[in-house]
Amino acid sequence: MTHKINKKIISYKVITPDTQETNTPVEQNQVESMHENVERPEVLLGSTYKIKTPQSEHALYITINDMILNQGTPHEERRPYEVFINSKNMEHFQWVLALTRVISAVFRKGGDACFLVEEMKAVFDPRGGYFKKGGVFMPSLVAEIGCAIESHLRHIGMLKPEVMTDHQKQFLNEKRREFEALHGTSDQQSFPEKAVLCSKCSTKAMVLMDGCMTCLNCGDSKCG
């Protein structure tokens, strides 16, 4: 069979059956990503998170199991595979079971599952939310489950934490000391008593400083 060359030859290489095998770019084809047909191994790594709300005397335990893809290679990564929620309180059993199955299906589907966190944290309970220790407001139980999943995704590297610079930390510490010197605060509280809820980090840590509302937790300011 004859092939006509229409372009100028600038280099050449002799291909033999042996070199053809070694030079085939198969490495990328061998990199496995999460998809719904990935076979579940016998053993999965898991982490369990405890949720205790003032709305129930029994805690919820959220277990997220991960799969290690491309283990032992430079492309090794840890991805969530399934989630289970257990509690002595059977009041929410039906919708909690449905929620775990939907979340697990999204995990196994592959791709970026981080959107689940924002969707769940945006769910509000019509009966009203509650404050956690430290003044963090939770609009619903679903939102707190979303926060637990967010913590896990940060732990395995799927979500990158928002880290404040040393300059930002120093600025917030100075503002906090200044506010406490003017108004006083209790040593047992994380933030001043007069602080209000921050819309950005959902923490009761926003105070009026120099005529501007500033959050002592995340640094968000109404004045930019």
Task: Give pLDDT < 70 ranges for the chain.
Answer: 1-3, 6-29, 163-164, 168, 171, 175-176, 179-190, 222, 224
Residue 178, Cβ neighbours under 10 Å: how many?
Answer: 13
DSSP state of 33: -
Tell me if residue 111 falls in helix, strand or coil: coil
Residue 16's pLDDT is what? 66
At residue 102, the pLDDT reads 96
How far is Cα of residue 171 from the mean position of the Cα atoms in its chain?
A: 27
User: Of 104, 63, 99, which is closest to residue 82 (Cα–Cα)?
Assistant: 104
> How confident is the model at residue 24, as a pLDDT?
43
Backbone angles phi, psi at 44, to 5 degrees: -125, 150
- Determine the straight-line distance between the first and last CA of the chain, rounded to whole angstroms: 71
Contact in structure between 58 and 88 (CB atoms under 8 Å): yes
Q: What is the chain's Cα-based Rg?
A: 26
Which pLDDT value is given to residue 83? 96
83, 107 Cβ separation under 8 angstroms: yes
Inter-residue contact 220 to 198 (CB < 8 Å): yes
Return the domain boundaries, the chain.
45-155, 166-215
For residue 105, the model assigns a pLDDT of: 95
Q: What is the mean pLDDT of the chain?
A: 81
The answer to whether the Cα torsion of 29, 35, 37, 40 is positive or negative is positive
Q: Do you know the residue count of the chain?
A: 224
Residue 199: the pLDDT is: 75
Can you read off the two tokens belonging to residue 214? 């500033």
Give me the pLDDT at residue 3, please. Answer: 67
Distance (Å, whole) CA 143 – CA 79: 21
